[in-house]
């Protein structure tokens, strides 16, 4: 299956934006156990399987950064949401490539 991901960002670029004080909407689509093992500070947890039923919680006009463990599930999340008019960006490489701090560890 080929993802149709409209936009991507590297973990380094996302971390730089956070370190510059930007207030970003980050959606972590991993499973609950993965979330509890550590996540980006300020991220919102909506696991992939619940994303469409909870899309009403998201603002379609707001830029949202989708993250997961390796970039695959977040890519799928981007495809699902972009098809519905959401402004989404996939973080490539996922948290495996994240070098910043994680909370909840």
Residue 4 has pLDDT above 90, yes or no: no
Q: Which strand ranges, in their side-by-side order, compose the sheet holding 44-45?
A: 8-9, 88-91, 64-67, 25-28, 44-45
pLDDT tens track for 11-42: 999 999 999 999 999 999 999 999 999 999 99
pTM: 0.93
Spatial neighbors of 97 by CB under 8 A, at least 6 apart, are: 10, 11, 71
Task: Tell me the two tokens of residue 29.
Answer: 């689509």
In order of start, what are the domains of the chain with their CATH numbers?
A: 25-96 (3.40.250.10)
pLDDT tens string 37-69 = 999 999 999 999 999 999 999 999 999 999 999
- Number of C-beta neighbours around residue 46 at 10 A: 21
């Amino acid at each position: 299956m080929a993802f149709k991901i409209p936009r991507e960002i590297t973990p380094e670029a996302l971390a730089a934006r956070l370190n510059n004080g930007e207030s970003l909407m980050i959606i972590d689509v991993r499973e609950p156990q993965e979330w509890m093992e550590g996540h980006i500070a300020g991220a919102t947890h909506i696991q992939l399987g619940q994303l469409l039923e909870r899309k009403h919680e998201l603002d379609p006009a707001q830029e949202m950064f989708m993250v997961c463990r390796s970039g695959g599930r977040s890519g799928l999340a981007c495809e699902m949401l972009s098809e519905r008019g959401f402004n989404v960006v996939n973080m490539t490489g996922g948290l495996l490539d994240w070098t910043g701090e994680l909370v909840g560890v």
